[in-house]
Structure 1
Amino acid sequence: MGARWVGLVMKAPIVFIIAVCGLVGVAAIPAFSLDLNLPTSGQQPADTTNRQAYDLLAEGFGPGFNGPLIVVADITQSTDIQGVLTKIGDELRTVPGVAVVGQGIPDPTVDTAIFQVIPTTAPDSPETKTLVHDLRAVNDTITADLGTPIAVTGQTAVAVDISDLLTAALLPFGILVVGLSIVLLAMVFRSIAVPIKAAVGFLFSVGASFGVTVAVFQWGWGADLLNIATTGPLISFLPILLMAILFGLAMDYEVFLVSGMREEFVKTKDARRAIRVGFVQGARVVTAAALIMFFVFFAFVPEGTGAIKQIALALAVGVFVDAFLVRMTLVPAVMTLLGATAWKLPRSLSRILPNVDVEGEGLREHIASAAWASRHTDDIISAEDLRIGGVENTIDLSLTEGAVLVISGDTTSRRLVGATLAGRLHPESGELQVLGFTVPSEAGALSRCVTLVDLASGRTDVSSSVGSALRDRLRYARPLFRRGASASEVDHRVADIDRALSRFPGEPPLSAETALGSLTPLATALVLTALGLADGGALLVLDTGDAGSPLADTSDFVNALADLVPAGMTLVLGLPTVPVFGVARQAAAGSVAASASASAPASARPLVTLELSTPARHEGILR
């Protein structure tokens, strides 16, 4: 049955969309006459004593006698109390809708007086609600003329106030509910069209439910068939209660249907097949759940009492409309029109919204990436057909332990690649594993093992010394039970920096007492590198900044970094251009071969250069 129905809907989606919108629109028209109030005895069954007393009072004294209003006057500033009370009573009698105003009665301390005001209409009448507001509006006139403020209270006025408060809260509550549903469904389905469609469908269901309930309980349509003795306003909290319950049920039905469609679309990328398969999988669950809820709610309509009837009918209609008109008809029709577009999410939102992987798509991708990574266990970094947003090149890369990767190109592209290798940025496509972690599925764990340093920032505490900076970094990078660094350890690291710095003629020697503010740019870069090493990461990613940096035009700097970084640690370095290795320089401790050399000394490091401006990649040995 489900397959035949969805097939019929998919053949003429526009017809079904128009039909559903028309039916729901007509059903929702009475909702514009929605009137809310708290229940009164006049809505009780006719055979109850409460109802009989209510009717007798209305017949003998008028309908307003069942809901008198209390007007309270502050007479503390009055010297002619009786005269003021008389004038207040006269002013109250001029308000339209007032039948009787009782004599003002002061309290024993003569600071407050009360008036009983009998309306001409019943307590739950819209005219009585208007009267309450009109009486309160008279306060300004009475206060200005007599200096005696008044206030309106009583059971009827309280009921009006509660109804007004709940009515005022209805729009913010609806916006909150619909807004949250859009955000949550966008997170789950990675789509913007699906949550908007779900939210609009929910509003359709609420509108139809309100409309039918108003037509039955306020207008009396079909009241005899449903054993409804009296008509009148709906209970004040019905709209919020209905929206809350119906929202939960509607989103359940939406997820039951659309999650199957999403799962099938992820696997096949065939939008029409996804609609059919997902609908058939979820239709039986939605049908069974909706029928159960419908009959449970509807059973209270003919046999319930008072407000229970209203709540039951509203929920029964809402469930029926949402399940069978909105979810089972409108959803597949709209999804058919949208096609694959229904599953698109703007890239800006995709980056902001968390990915709630309901269908296990991420797990499947992780398993596939892990299988690919298992074939590259000898590499510290492996990449295949890797595409990174903002980088023109597709990257293929293989880097062994202890190697040096030099990335050249514009600053933005280099830093995007570096951030991706460090687990701070997710690639758009392709395969990537770093330190045995697959990216993006294990990017969080990878980021904790990689140190990322911007050598061009020069961000150091200029008032501190090299030794104290290293000591502080070592202390904060270690666990609590290993906090602290010995003087010999700090001196050893400072000596490593000084030895690397000795490659550059004219650079002053470095000691633990050297002030950071006195360092040259080259020395600052090496100190920043040493501070990054102190973090204890398994991979170090550095970038030298823009082309104007004095660090960017010398191969000696790359060799100096290679000397500073431990032999077993892999180094990634971003430079504006690829240095010319192998050219003799004064005080140079080594050179770079243009290709891999089997006869390289044991201290040599494998070198890989990646030029982002072109897809070329070169390999060699850094010694």
Structure 2
Amino acid sequence: MGNGETRVRGLAARAGGWSARHRWAAVGIWVLFVVLAMGLGSAAGRVDVKDSDQLKGETHTAAKIVEDAGIDEPASETVLIQAKDGSLTATDSEFRAAVTAVVQAVEGTGKVTDVTSPYDTQTISKDGRSALVQFDMRGEADTAGERVEPVLKAVEDVQKDHESLRIEEIGGASMMKTFDDAFGDDFQKAEYSAVPVALGILLIAFGALVAALLPVLLAITAIMATMGLMGVVSHVMPMSETANSVMLLVGLAVGVDYCLFYLRREREEREAGQDAQTALRVAAATSGRAIIVSGVTVCVAMAGMLFTGLAEFEAMGLASLMVVAVAMVGSVTVLPALLSLLGGRVEKGKVPFLHPESRLRRKRGRGNRESRFWTAVLKGVLARPVLSVVVATGALLAVAAPAVGMKTQNLTLDQEFGDSLPIVATYNRVNEAFPGGAEPAEVVVKADDINADEVTSALADFRERAVSSGASRGPVEIKLHDDMNVAFVYVPLVGGSDLDKAGASLEKLRDEVRPATLGKVDGVEAPITGQVAGSQDFNDQLGGAVVPVFAFVVVFAFVLMLLSFRSLTVAITSIVLNLLSVGAAYGILVAVFQHGWGASLVGAEGVGAIVSWLPLFLFVILFGLSMDYHVFVVSRIREARLRGRSTKDAIQHGVVTTAGVVTSAAVIMVAVFAIFGTLSMQSMKQMGVGLAAAVLIDATIIRGVLLPAVMALLGERNWYLPKWLHRLPDLTHDESTEAVAQPQPPAVEGERMGV
């Protein structure tokens, strides 16, 4: 065994040993690190992803032109005035009076500018029953939601005076306010309720308050430190609110998991009669190593998001990677120090009937409920491994089958929120009366001289052709910024809120109308942006990122498993099993949210599509989290094998001894993710349900049935490593408890086995 090999092998054991010997120093360094990270983060402030960097393609070009010109696009608002029955039209005096009242009311608030009447802009529907009063909010668009309240109140007051008409406001600012009111608290509730839920499950798992608090405290401190680090890092790579939410989710899940693995192993060794010091050393060398291997694998999986080229994804990937790295370091350094300090006090605050001692007394046996259940399951699995593999694989493939027809898109307002908000009904009414009017395409025209004759004529041509080509029914509005030589052209797309139809209209504008008009003028740039264009550009970019991200994550995970277990078989089976669990999660998502099977159970009727960013995001997160359990279970099987058990016995021992901790860890993850499944936004629902379902499948069917069945079938071939791969670095170590308990170097049993 070379020196480098020993160094790598003993990393977790040495970190744990140092922490246990220098307890106060380890705790002090951790506290200092968390405080410093938070202090630096708040001093640096967080830089968020700019609109112009969100996407590549035309959307990016358009945002860059607007940014470079220094134009602050205001938040535009619209008031829909619509006859409730067919008796009134826009030419009637009552209708005209209502329009005048709306114009005066919004102007009277002093919060708006550029108020236009439908009689001037011709924003009157074909049937004459609907009209739009349009205006912009004063001040910055980003904060317009905070100033729109008086305007909404003024419009409401006009509505009270005109019972026969429907008078409703919609726009960037009013939507912002509605969402903040309805869902701003939603996220906070989810984030706050995740901690008590995790604590409750840990109490059941450990039966002792102190032992249950430790993982939660470590996860929270890791999250706090990462928040600070995100502020510092955001000056190099901008962060975002979404990245923050994802970081919280992942941080809580892995932070609690890692501690759970460590604590359970330490307790198990003490129960087996080891003294506290030896129990800690064994936990550090075994569970500690499993945490490092799985943490590095999760970090590698998260790093896959950096290959998407999408700023939001890169922020999510980096934030998740950081929190996993921090939680992993905390688990193998500060946790051993705390356990050493607490000693037997870690069992303080025993919960009656839940603590193992009371269970032992009650049952006069050491097997707890979980391992009794898994012992029974495993008995059947190991007796008929072929049948188990066929049935479990068949079931997972059947669950994954619907994923073949997966349809992804950015969800429209009505898909995202259903009919839970009145503003959604307004959005639909505007789109019905003025197809595409609620979300027009926006052409950002940049010229050397925006008022040059050829540019003016090309703009007029574009306006005329946009309607005659059938891409829009009008009215096409042009807004000039003479000083900056920029013009905004707003084109309502035929298809409105139907993204497929609106997408076809957008293609017409981009491929037919623009080249024939603005495209013929030298020096004119005319990228087309807007919600439909943004959705299409996002999907195109995401489509291009799927293969490199999948390849990166799979290849790196494979190499890590190969080096960590020095077995080609273990590396291949771990990748195949992970892909199966991801496939099953995709199948459940498509069945529930696209086809609507059982959708009412999660409040998700009629969405009809999966939000575009979710499949890739799920793949990366799940691949990372699945590896957690895999590394933990296989490490335990390998450890038992190294102690001289037969492969079948080792599988039985490994799965049964880890069943309790894997079940507890999975239940915590499922509960935390399921909280996000209760949010009102469909995209968050999809994320919560997808993650919860996948983790559940992973911890039960994959780890409890498929993994042991496949390993039982393979027998000694599980440890196969071709001769030509023997030169690879050796990141395994001799995991036998006896070896760890002795201060002298262990005998290299692994080499005898050819592991």
Band the TM-score falls in, shorter-chain normalisation: 0.5 to 0.7
Match of 1:88 in 2: 462
Is contact 1:256–1:285 with CA below 8 Å preserved after alignment? no
Using the alignment, how far apart are the partners of 2:605 and 2:389 within structure 1? 37
Match of 2:716 in 1: 340
Match of 1:550 in 2: none
Deviation at 1:302, TM superposition (A): 4.5
Match of 2:402 in 1: 30
Match of 1:116 in 2: 490
Deviation at 1:300, TM superposition (A): 4.1
Q: In the alignment, which of 290, 309, 329 is matched to residue 685 of structure 2?
A: 309
Change (3 A) 1:428 1:359: closer
Change (3 A) 1:295 1:106: closer
TM-score by length of 1: 0.54
Change (3 A) 1:94 1:277: farther
SS in structure 2 of the partner of residue 73 of structure 1: strand
Higher Cα radius of gyration: 1
Q: Which amino acid aligns with 1:268?
A: G
Using the alignment, how far apart are the partners of 1:126 and 1:221 within structure 2? 23
Deviation at 1:181, TM superposition (A): 1.7
Using the alignment, how far apart are the partners of 1:92 and 1:66 within structure 2? 17
Q: Which amino acid aligns with 2:423?
A: N
Deviation at 1:6, TM superposition (A): 1.5
Is contact 2:594–2:607 with CA below 8 Å preserved after alignment? yes
Change (3 A) 1:320 1:358: farther
Q: In the alignment, which of 650, 664, 669 is matched to residue 293 of structure 1?
A: 669
Task: Give the length in aligned residue pairs.
Answer: 375
Q: Which amino acid aligns with 2:398?
A: V
Change (3 A) 1:169 1:81: closer
Using the alignment, how far apart are the partners of 1:36 and 1:100 within structure 2? 29
SS in structure 2 of the partner of residue 121 of structure 1: coil
Deviation at 1:28, TM superposition (A): 2.2
The 5-angstrom pairing of residues 68-467 of structure 1 reads 68-76=440-448, 79-93=453-467, 98-100=472-474, 102-109=476-483, 111-123=485-497, 125-138=499-512, 139-140=514-515, 142=517, 145-147=520-522, 148-268=524-644, 270-302=646-678, 304-357=680-733, 359=735
Using the alignment, how far apart are the partners of 2:733 and 2:496 within structure 1? 56
Using the alignment, how far apart are the partners of 2:588 and 2:751 within structure 1? 50
Using the alignment, how far apart are the partners of 1:264 and 1:428 within structure 2? 15
Match of 1:53 in 2: 426
Using the alignment, how far apart are the partners of 2:721 and 2:738 within structure 1? 16
Q: Which amino acid aligns with 2:482?
A: P
Deviation at 1:314, TM superposition (A): 0.6
1:2 matched to 2:335: no
Deviation at 1:216, TM superposition (A): 1.8
SS in structure 1 of the partner of residue 495 of structure 2: coil
Which shows bigger deviation, 88-97 or 248-257? 88-97
Q: Which amino acid aligns with 1:102?
A: V
Structure 1 portions without partners, runs of 5+: 373-426, 431-623
- Cα deviation code 1:346-365 (max 9, x no counterpart): 23333223323272599579
Using the alignment, how far apart are the partners of 1:268 and 1:75 within structure 2? 78
Deviation at 1:14, TM superposition (A): 2.4
Q: Which amino acid aligns with 1:215?
A: A
Q: Which amino acid aligns with 2:487?
A: A
SS in structure 1 of the partner of residue 492 of structure 2: strand
Using the alignment, how far apart are the partners of 1:2 and 1:321 within structure 2? 15
Q: Which amino acid aligns with 1:23?
A: A
Q: Which amino acid aligns with 2:422?
A: T
- Cα deviation code 1:194-215 (max 9, x no counterpart): 1221112211122221221122
SS in structure 1 of the partner of residue 665 of structure 2: helix
Deviation at 1:186, TM superposition (A): 1.6
- Cα deviation code 1:323-380 (max 9, x no counterpart): 21222111111112211111112233332233232725995799787899xxxxxxxx
Change (3 A) 1:429 1:16: closer
Deviation at 1:230, TM superposition (A): 4.4
Using the alignment, how far apart are the partners of 1:321 and 1:428 within structure 2? 35
Using the alignment, how far apart are the partners of 1:242 and 1:4 within structure 2? 32
Change (3 A) 1:283 1:129: farther
Deviation at 1:293, TM superposition (A): 2.3
SS in structure 1 of the partner of residue 527 of structure 2: strand
Structure 2 portions without partners, runs of 5+: 1-372
Using the alignment, how far apart are the partners of 1:106 and 1:12 within structure 2? 75
Is contact 2:642–2:736 with CA below 8 Å preserved after alignment? no
Aligned alpha-carbon RMSD (Å) = 3.4
Using the alignment, how far apart are the partners of 1:89 and 1:358 within structure 2? 74
The 5-angstrom pairing of residues 554-573 of structure 1 reads none
Using the alignment, how far apart are the partners of 2:465 and 2:625 within structure 1? 52
Change (3 A) 1:324 1:149: same
Is contact 2:739–2:745 with CA below 8 Å preserved after alignment? no
Change (3 A) 1:253 1:131: farther
Deviation at 1:313, TM superposition (A): 0.6
Match of 1:603 in 2: none
Is contact 1:71–1:115 with CA below 8 Å preserved after alignment? yes
Deviation at 1:53, TM superposition (A): 2.0
Deviation at 1:185, TM superposition (A): 1.6
Q: Which amino acid aligns with 2:394?
A: G
The 5-angstrom pairing of residues 529-568 of structure 1 reads none
- Cα deviation code 1:400-443 (max 9, x no counterpart): xxxxxxxxxxxxxxxxxxxxxxxxxxx9779xxxxxxxxxxxxx
Match of 2:303 in 1: none
| Structure with greater proportional helix content | 2
Q: Which amino acid aligns with 1:188?
A: S
Q: Which amino acid aligns with 2:439?
A: G
Match of 1:394 in 2: none
Match of 1:12 in 2: 384
Change (3 A) 1:233 1:132: farther
Is contact 1:266–1:361 with CA below 8 Å preserved after alignment? no
Change (3 A) 1:287 1:370: closer
Change (3 A) 1:213 1:344: same
Using the alignment, how far apart are the partners of 1:291 and 1:190 within structure 2? 31
Using the alignment, how far apart are the partners of 2:537 and 2:544 within structure 1? 10
Is contact 1:41–1:50 with CA below 8 Å preserved after alignment? no
Deviation at 1:228, TM superposition (A): 2.1
Q: Which amino acid aligns with 1:46?
A: D
TM-score by length of 2: 0.45
- Cα deviation code 1:214-270 (max 9, x no counterpart): 222222222223222441433333234323332232111112221111112222262
| Structure with greater proportional strand content | 1
Q: Which amino acid aligns with 2:462?
A: I
RCO higher in 1 or 2 (8 Å CA, sep ≥ 6)? Answer: 2
Change (3 A) 1:371 1:5: closer
Match of 1:65 in 2: 437
